[in-house]
Amino acid sequence: MVLIFPLLICFTLHVIHAEYSFETKYLDVPIDHFSYLHNTTFKLRYLLNGHYHVKGGPAFVYTGNEGDINMFAQNTGFLFDIAPTFNALIVFIEHRYYGESLPFGNLSLSSPEHLRYLTTSQALADFVHIIDHLKNTYFSTTIGNDTLPFIAFGGSYGGMLAAWLRMKYPHSVLGAIASSAPIWFFGDIVPCEKFYAIITEVFEKFGGEHCTSIVKASWSVLRNVTSSSKGKDYLSSAWNLCSTLKTSSDTDKLIDWVSDIYVNMAMTNYHYPTDFITPLPAYSVKLFCDKLTSLNASDSKSLLENLSDALTIYTNYTGKNKCNNINSTSDDLGERAWNYQTCTELIMPMCSTDKDMFENSAWDMKKHSETCQASYGAVVSRPTWAIQEYGGKNLRYFSNIVFSNGLDDPWSCGGVLGNISSKVWAVNITDGAHHVDLRGSHPADTRYVKDARKFHVNAIKKWLGVF
């Protein structure tokens, strides 16, 4: 079972198909916004598209999340779809410690001392810094103190940041569209079993109980088969793993790898083929379950072989994958930085019970801290920080935020699913996956997705005073 959380948006080193074009820019920002000890800066990357910008139009600012900013820029077509209507400048700002925005270059993730500036507070201050720069560069002659038409957008962790940016710096951005932002996934606000329960529901909805019962049964079969060296060799071959399983820790990794695939399939169970985390067909959960349930399993081995076969929907949709690397993301820069964040201030308690299709696992804060200590050296976990800093459920005094959630997205359990006030709204997308509303429009779009996007456009018009 995963000990460190799945990435909100997992990403691989998958080559990005660049549909949207940008100028790549860099700005020197302070490494530490919150002390006056040093004046050291680093180059924060941001992407700029001024194609639709007409003087007087606003700026749409995507608050980057846990990965290379190009990936988000290529998967947030919604901004491009609506930019012409608003004459908007489009900006994607990279999050510090991800992509190219490394405060200490290759050393950035190497020690607690280097990692100390990886916090949401510093990231928000970066965004404000860049926005101030853009304001002076592109808007100085057209806006006053009172009219700063910057709208924040973000999906997933980026959605949390977009909301928090508006909450903490309402003078910097006029409003925020926060898609699939699980800002309540902290402390004891959300029951820890909800996340895996939703994934199980999605697999049941698209694959029926037969599918989830096979998955549920598979864990002990996997454990049993891999309990011997012979079994490890067998499974490594049958599952076409890139390297042979050797230890019980390798088995744990395999289990995590499979679990993460189910998480990712539920998150990205989009209604048309996508190329986001990995190339996937439409409704991959359905295809996976259809395949799994269509194959007859007479014994443990055939169950595992069927499972491996069905998993190819995710692992090898293009047919180009030579073998399955269960460590594929472990050396990935983004993942190490993200896990640091989930160890320190973004601690999201998750657990798995008999009621879901995953291997059982209790939430254990002590164990979580110990794993974090082992991975990062002396690092402090503050499980209630995010609530103390960002208000927990008490959001009634904030304004101009739309929280949207796809109800099939497991992260929705930590999201804001109901209106908070006349100024903080929620939009729920029936059958929707992870931040589906921020994707570009598609012929297969459901009316639920279309309605959510209309809601966003109207909210932005209202905030900008454009009726």
Of positions 50, 187, 273, 392, contacts its own copies by CB under 8 A: 392
The b-or-e profile of 41-70 (16+ CB within 10 A means b, else e) is ebebbbbbbbebbeeebbbbbbbbbbbbbb
Question: Which helix or strand (DSSP H or E) is residue 30 part of?
Answer: strand 23-30
14 counts as catalytic:
no
Please, what is the minimum distance in Å from the beta carbon of residue 120 to its own copies? 10
Stretch that binds its own copies, among 12-20, 246-254, 304-312, 375-383 (CB under 8 A): 375-383
Decide: helix, strand or coil at residue 290.
Answer: helix
Measuring CA to CA, which residue among 428, 398, 395, 397 is closest to residue 413?
428
d(CA 392, CA 384): 9
Site for its own copies in 400-419 (CB under 8 A): 400
Q: How far from chain centre, in Å, is Cα 125?
A: 21
Minimum CB distance to its own copies smaller for 192 or for 372: 372
Task: Work out whether 119 is an interface residue with its own copies (CB under 8 A).
Answer: yes
Q: At its nearest, how many Å lie between its own copies and the CB of residue 380?
A: 4
Helix axes 248-267, 284-294, angle to 10 degrees: 120
With CA atoms as reference, report the closest residue to 30 among 102, 111, 126: 126
Selected binder of its own copies within 17, 21, 39, 298 (CB under 8 A): 39
Instruction: Assess whether 354 carries a catalytic annotation.
Output: no
- 262 with 215: CB under 8 angstroms? yes
Instruction: Please state, in angstroms and rounded to a whole number, the distance separating the CA atoms of residues 228 and 247.
Output: 10
Binding residue (CB under 8 A) for its own copies from 53, 95, 96, 168 = 168
Distances (CA, A) of 296 to 160, 301, 352, 429: 44, 11, 27, 36
Pattern 318-347, binding to its own copies, x per CB under 8 A?
Answer: -------------------------xxx--
> What's the sign of the alpha-carbon dihedral 353, 156, 404, 125?
positive
Smallest gap from Cβ 310 to its own copies, in A, equals 40
**How far apart, in whole angstroms, are the C-alpha atoms of residue 283 and residue 122?**
38
Cα 356 from Cα 196, distance rounded (Å): 6
Whose Cβ is closer to its own copies: residue 307's or residue 346's? 346
Does position 374 interact with its own copies (CB under 8 A)? The reply is no
Q: How far is the CB of 333 from its own copies (least distance, A)?
A: 19
> Interface with its own copies includes 366 (CB under 8 A)?
no
Is 394 near its own copies (CB under 8 A)?
yes
Catalytic, out of 101, 108, 156, 352 = 156
Measured from the CB atom, is 281 or 391 closer to its own copies?
Answer: 391
Interface size with its own copies, residues (CB under 8 A): 45
- Our finding on whether 164 is near its own copies (CB under 8 A) is no
Closer to its own copies by CB, 207 or 349: give it: 349
The answer to the question of residue 38 lying near its own copies (CB under 8 A) is yes
The smaller minimum CB distance to its own copies, of residues 26 and 34, is found at: 34
156 as an active site residue: the answer is yes
Task: Compute the distance between CA of residue 59 and CA of residue 153 in angstroms, rounded to an integer.
Answer: 10
Please count the residues of the chain: 467
Sequential DSSP letters for 189-256 = SS-TTHHHHHHHHHHHHHHHHHHHHHHHHHHHHHHHHTTSHHHHHHHHHHTTBSS---SHHHHHHHHH
Binding mask 71-110 for its own copies (x = CB under 8 A): ----------------------------------------
Out of 399, 404, 405, 412, the only residue in the binding site for its own copies (CB under 8 A) is 399
Regarding 140 and contact with its own copies (CB under 8 A), the answer is no
Compare residues 25 and 135 and give the one whose CB is closer to its own copies. Answer: 135
Burial classification of residue 137, based on how many CB atoms lie within 10 Å of its CB (0-12 exposed, 13-18 middle, 19 or more buried):
exposed
Single out the catalytic residue among 95, 129, 368, 434.
434
Q: Is 126 in the site for its own copies (CB under 8 A)?
A: no
| Closer residue to its own copies, CB minimum distance, 211 or 395 | 395
Q: What are the Cα distances from residue 373, in Å, to 149, 184, 379?
A: 43, 25, 6
CA quadruple 313, 314, 320, 322: dihedral sign: negative
Closest CA to 267 of 182, 344, 144: 182
Neighbours of 303 (CB within 10 A): 20
CB of residue 388 to its own copies, shortest distance in Å: 6
Catalytic, out of 68, 356, 409, 437 = 409
Cα torsion angle, 68, 71, 74, 75, sign? negative
> Considering only residues 112, 330, 367, 370, which one is a binding residue for its own copies as defined by CB under 8 A?
112
Shortest Cβ 101–its own copies spacing (Å): 18
Stretch that binds its own copies, among 101-109, 149-157, 396-404, 454-462 (CB under 8 A): 396-404
Active site residues: 156, 409, 434
Q: Applying CB under 8 A, which residues contact its own copies?
A: 34-39, 112-113, 115-117, 119, 121-122, 125, 128-129, 132, 145-146, 148, 168-171, 343-345, 378-382, 388-389, 391-400
